[in-house]
Amino acid sequence: MIFEGYASRFGQADAGGDLVLPGAFAGSLARRGTDGVRLLYQHDSAEPIGRWLQIREDATGLLVRGELLTGIQRAEEAARLVLGGALDGLSIGFRAVRAQKSRGSTSPVRRLISEIDLWEISLVTFPMMPGARILRVLGASAPSDLAESIRRAASAML
């Protein structure tokens, strides 16, 4: 199954008070490339479930396109959850390379992050950033007995 969404959005604070600035991912993506960023389930390094086909910054945030792999039980379970509308969160695993503490005690923003070392992006139940979500399913592949029902579910979501 191939899907697309935003793993992070610029200008929005997450539940922990981090606000990522445009350009923050550029250095990490140049160093690691798309293949160097893992696609995990619930941030569990023992649960890789697919691969990233595209990771890039646009004006909104970190736009990603990923593929959940067939033949991996957790990936197939995740695909069913996504297609059923029960799982749509995305969340980044990273280290802040360059950040400033926010000034002003009334602001929900604690850190302004201008550079990130991105390690992984996970499908999650509860993303730290409410706007980090799968936006659409682009395609699905599965064993033939499931293929038709998955195609129907994907079409209904578009």
Cβ-contact 15, 105 below 8 angstroms: no
Q: What b-and-e string marks burial along 121-135, b requiring 16 or more CB atoms within 10 Å of the CB?
A: bbbbeebbbeebebe
pLDDT at position 58 is 98
pLDDT at position 104 is 67
**Number of folded domains in the chain?**
1
Cβ-contact 41, 50 below 8 angstroms: no
pLDDT at position 143 is 40
The tens-digit pLDDT sequence of the chain (158 residues) is 999 999 999 999 999 999 999 999 999 999 999 999 999 999 999 999 999 999 999 999 999 999 999 999 999 999 999 999 999 999 999 999 999 987 766 677 889 999 999 999 999 999 999 999 999 999 875 443 344 555 555 566 56
pLDDT at position 118 is 98
pLDDT at position 153 is 59
pTM of this prediction? 0.85
Cβ-contact 106, 74 below 8 angstroms: no
pLDDT at position 139 is 81
pLDDT at position 46 is 98
Three-state helix/strand/coil letters over 65-96: EEEECCCCHHHHHHHHHHHCCCCCEEEEEEEE
Contacts 24+ apart (CB under 8 A), 28-32: 28/94, 28/97, 28/115, 28/116, 28/117, 28/118, 29/55, 29/56, 29/57, 29/118, 32/118
Cβ-contact 60, 6 below 8 angstroms: yes
pLDDT at position 142 is 45
Cβ-contact 147, 141 below 8 angstroms: yes
Question: What residues make up the domain containing 46?
Answer: 2-156
